Structure 1
Amino acid sequence: MAKRDYYEVLGVSRNASEADLKKAFRRLAMKYHPDRNSGDADTEAKFKEAKLAYDVLSDPKKRSAYDQFGHAGVDAGAGGFGGPGGDGGAFSDIFGDVFGDIFGGRSGARRTQRGVDLRYDLSLSLEDAVNGKEVKFRIPVQVDCQFCGGTGAKPGTKPKTCTTCGGSGQVRMQQGFFSIQQTCPTCRGTGSVIEDACGHCRGRGRIQEEKTLSVRVPPGVDTGDRIRLAGEGERGEYGGPPGDLYVQIQVKSHPIFTREDSHLHCEVPIGFVTAALGGELEVPTLDGKVMLKIPAGTQTGKMFRVRGKGVKPVRGGVIGDLICRVTVETPVNLTERQKELLREFEASMKEGGSRHSPQSHSWLDSVKSFIDKIGL
């Protein structure tokens, strides 16, 4: 089933502000959260849909990709650059805001969060996929701001302890008989506030840069295979470990060969005379050329197998074969003399009866028998 537009899911316009997005998600989360609708699969699905929409649109990088390319720009199976999934820090923050006063909040300050896994789509030629290759590529990454050292405060200053919560990141509120602990609304659980933000990172403590990575593509990979680069994903929040980067392989189409598991296939056109009299034909492979022997009387569709000229599977096993399918090419653009010769040839063929074209005569006999049977 096609995914709904994320702006439609949240019920906001495409130019909605961050505050509008947060307000819209708070409303939907209060309505559809599973803890309020126990056992209701429909509301649980709506809650997950709203959470995913907010996770994408509240992240400037993901929102930009979504605005440009739609779901293909942020989905893991689509060719875009981004995290393949997970709840993400944005949801953790707003979850605390929405449900802290209902379910007792979270104990202690914000916990460290592992960084999001990222994906990079790597397009390879068939030759590089079969033989393997060292590939270098560049990706955008979040790094600590060098001007503020990652604090988010203007150089020469530092964050100050939050006076509302005393640096704990949590405040306690009394509601009737209940004492409820929830995230501090002033510092949002960090325990500190920035009075004068760094002008380079705008108080975020992180900036985006490009990083060059190198990956060794092993021989035999195919479309759908992926290579994991541990620790090369998005940086974790609040001191958490980074995620991983998954390099997704996509093999380009080839003008001659198609691949099926460990075998390669190709179509080989041959002339009418070669098909009738037999001969030898030079056929390309990924590591050179081979001579293919064509026996006399070869028909279209005949398969020839060249052993060991396919692909060695990436996970081990026997090297596949090259399978050549012959197509007999009918002559075109004939001269009058050539046409005359073919008519003479056809006349001589008829003198031999079914001996020279048994398939045609067998088919004609079957047609005659069928017509006689139904009385036409």
Structure 2
Amino acid sequence: MGKRDYYDILGVTRTSSADEIKKAYRKMAIKYHPDKNPGDKKSEDNFKEAAEAYEVLSNADKKKRYDQFGHAGGASSPNGGGNMNMEDIFSQFGDIFGGGGGSPFDSFFGGQQQSRGGRRVSRGSNLRIKVKLTLEEIAKGVEKKVKVNKQIVCETCDGSGAKDKSSFHTCHTCNGSGSVRRVTNTILGQMQTTSTCPTCNGEGSEITAKCIVCHGDGLTRGEETININIPAGVSEGMQLSMSGKGNAAPRGGIAGDLIILIEELPHEFLKREGNNIIYDLHVSFIDATIGSSVEVPTIDGKAKIKIEPGTQGGKILRLKAKGVPEVNSYHRGDQLIYVDIWTPKALSKEEREMLDKLRDSPNFKPQPGKNEKSFFDKMKEYFE
């Protein structure tokens, strides 16, 4: 079974505002939160599904790609939203519910946070790369291996930023929770708020001796080879996203995303217009007059086509389903062949004498408008 539509999951429409999408997700998160439905696998799946939908629809670029190409547009994780872990989801709560993340019920009802929920989870920055594709690769889809220079987890300290385990001490301000609570007296009674611990920045611990390699950052520069599966039908300027393949985050945080910008390489003979492929075919007036059989290039190789006797310049021939497929669809465009009559510029004496003899023949007299449609009429007829 395919994925459900993100708009249906949150109960919103394509024209819903960012605030409406945010409110819809907040409602779903409260309804299906694990704290409210302990041990309920269906609620947990709904909770993750709603988080995946919000992760895409709350991002302008991802939403635009999803609206245009659906789930195949790379708007979400290429591995699917089902692999979105709880750290990814809880990291959204800082924006949705305020405070340091974790369970929204903690700030509402003063409940106990999960062991990691109250701690601030850092996130690595996104990376952008450009991938150049040939027309053949775009038509068939391709797997690319790219080497990306980025921030990776320090191998010496395993990303902790500390010299050794003894260099960690529980934060004296938050006692390891990563967050601090404040109670304020108001005319309505006591109001409790939760915020990130200012001493440990939400990590729950302090480092007394830093790693000598990364100097406490928990990150170093490195190179990673990444396999990118690019679907057929992508186009110039399209952006794909791979979740978790960007810069690493320190202290076990969530890695950023890898944004892949598609660039089309020009083809030697063919041009692309949408999902159609255009080829300009030059034939001699002799072949156009008495007919011929010629080979033309396509993105699948060579194809032989027939030039009917009496073919006029400007005629459009079509090779059905020889164009580029639509993303996330079985439909494929056509190859359009524009016939252009090639006229020689230099003739021998014998050739000129032969043509002179034919000049006055009625069959060689132009008859404009007779049973012939204009180029624009042909184009209109084709697309209708």
Deviation at 1:203, TM superposition (A): 0.8
Matched residues, percent identical? 33
In the alignment, the residues of structure 2 paired with residue 270 and residue 206 of structure 1 have an alpha-carbon distance, to the nearest angstrom, of 63
1:139 to 140, 144, 148: 148
Residues 1:230 and 1:173: Cα distance change in structure 2 (over 3 Å): closer
The 3-state SS of whatever aligns with 1:274 is: helix
Q: Does the Cα contact within 8 Å between 1:151 and 1:158 map onto a contact in 2?
A: no
1:272 matches 2:285:
yes
Greater relative contact order: 1 or 2 (C-alpha under 8 angstroms, separation 6 or more)?
2
In the alignment, the residues of structure 2 paired with residue 111 and residue 185 of structure 1 have an alpha-carbon distance, to the nearest angstrom, of 11
2:163 to 150, 154, 157: 154
1:260 to 257, 261, 273: 273
Query: Which residue in 1 is equivalent to 2:70?
Result: none
Structural mapping, 1:1-376, within 5 Å: 110-113=119-122, 115-116=124-125, 118-155=127-164, 157-163=166-172, 167=176, 186-218=199-231, 220-223=232-235, 228-235=241-248, 239-332=252-345, 334-335=346-347, 337=349, 340-341=352-353, 344-345=356-357, 348=360, 352=362, 356-359=365-368
Q: Does the Cα contact within 8 Å between 1:152 and 1:204 map onto a contact in 2?
A: yes
The 3-state SS of whatever aligns with 1:358 is: coil
In the alignment, the residues of structure 2 paired with residue 293 and residue 210 of structure 1 have an alpha-carbon distance, to the nearest angstrom, of 53
Query: Which residue in 1 is equivalent to 2:10?
Result: none
Which structure has the bigger radius of gyration? Answer: 1
The 3-state SS of whatever aligns with 1:341 is: helix
- Cα deviation, 1:86-128, whole Å, max 9, x if unaligned, reads xxx9xx9xx99xxxxxxxxxx9964225555554432211112
In the alignment, the residues of structure 1 paired with residue 350 and residue 273 of structure 2 have an alpha-carbon distance, to the nearest angstrom, of 41
Deviation at 1:347, TM superposition (A): 5.0
Letter in 2 for 1:281: V
In the alignment, the residues of structure 2 paired with residue 343 and residue 200 of structure 1 have an alpha-carbon distance, to the nearest angstrom, of 84
Q: Does the Cα contact within 8 Å between 1:119 and 1:247 map onto a contact in 2?
A: yes
The 3-state SS of whatever aligns with 1:130 is: helix
Letter in 1 for 2:169: K
Deviation at 1:141, TM superposition (A): 4.2
Deviation at 1:135, TM superposition (A): 2.0
In the alignment, the residues of structure 2 paired with residue 172 and residue 226 of structure 1 have an alpha-carbon distance, to the nearest angstrom, of 42
Q: Does the Cα contact within 8 Å between 1:221 and 1:249 map onto a contact in 2?
A: no
Residues 1:148 and 1:130: Cα distance change in structure 2 (over 3 Å): same
Residues 1:324 and 1:338: Cα distance change in structure 2 (over 3 Å): farther
In the alignment, the residues of structure 2 paired with residue 245 and residue 181 of structure 1 have an alpha-carbon distance, to the nearest angstrom, of 32
Q: Does the Cα contact within 8 Å between 2:161 and 2:251 map onto a contact in 1?
A: no
Residues 1:132 and 1:168: Cα distance change in structure 2 (over 3 Å): closer
In the alignment, the residues of structure 2 paired with residue 228 and residue 180 of structure 1 have an alpha-carbon distance, to the nearest angstrom, of 36
The 3-state SS of whatever aligns with 2:263 is: strand
Deviation at 1:294, TM superposition (A): 1.8
- Cα deviation, 1:351-376, whole Å, max 9, x if unaligned, reads x4x97111299xxxxxxxxxxxxxxx
Residues 1:346 and 1:142: Cα distance change in structure 2 (over 3 Å): same
Q: Does the Cα contact within 8 Å between 1:221 and 1:314 map onto a contact in 2?
A: yes
Letter in 2 for 1:344: D
Give RMSD over aligned pairs.
4.8
Deviation at 1:200, TM superposition (A): 0.9
Residues 1:264 and 1:235: Cα distance change in structure 2 (over 3 Å): same
Letter in 1 for 2:302: K
**Bigger shift: 307-316 or 318-327?**
307-316
Deviation at 1:312, TM superposition (A): 4.2
Deviation at 1:303, TM superposition (A): 0.8
Deviation at 1:254, TM superposition (A): 1.1
Where structure 1 has 5 or more consecutive residues not aligned to the other structure, the ranges are 1-74, 78-83, 97-106, 362-376
TM-score (norm 1): 0.55
Equivalent pairs, count: 273
In the alignment, the residues of structure 1 paired with residue 147 and residue 285 of structure 2 have an alpha-carbon distance, to the nearest angstrom, of 52
- Cα deviation, 1:42-97, whole Å, max 9, x if unaligned, reads xxxxxxxxxxxxxxxxxxxxxxxxxxxxxxxxx999xxxxxx9xxxx9xx9xx99x
The 3-state SS of whatever aligns with 1:149 is: coil
Q: Does the Cα contact within 8 Å between 1:150 and 1:206 map onto a contact in 2?
A: yes
Q: Does the Cα contact within 8 Å between 1:116 and 1:242 map onto a contact in 2?
A: yes
Residues 1:293 and 1:117: Cα distance change in structure 2 (over 3 Å): same
Deviation at 1:248, TM superposition (A): 4.1
Where structure 2 has 5 or more consecutive residues not aligned to the other structure, the ranges are 1-60, 65-75, 77-90, 100-111, 371-384
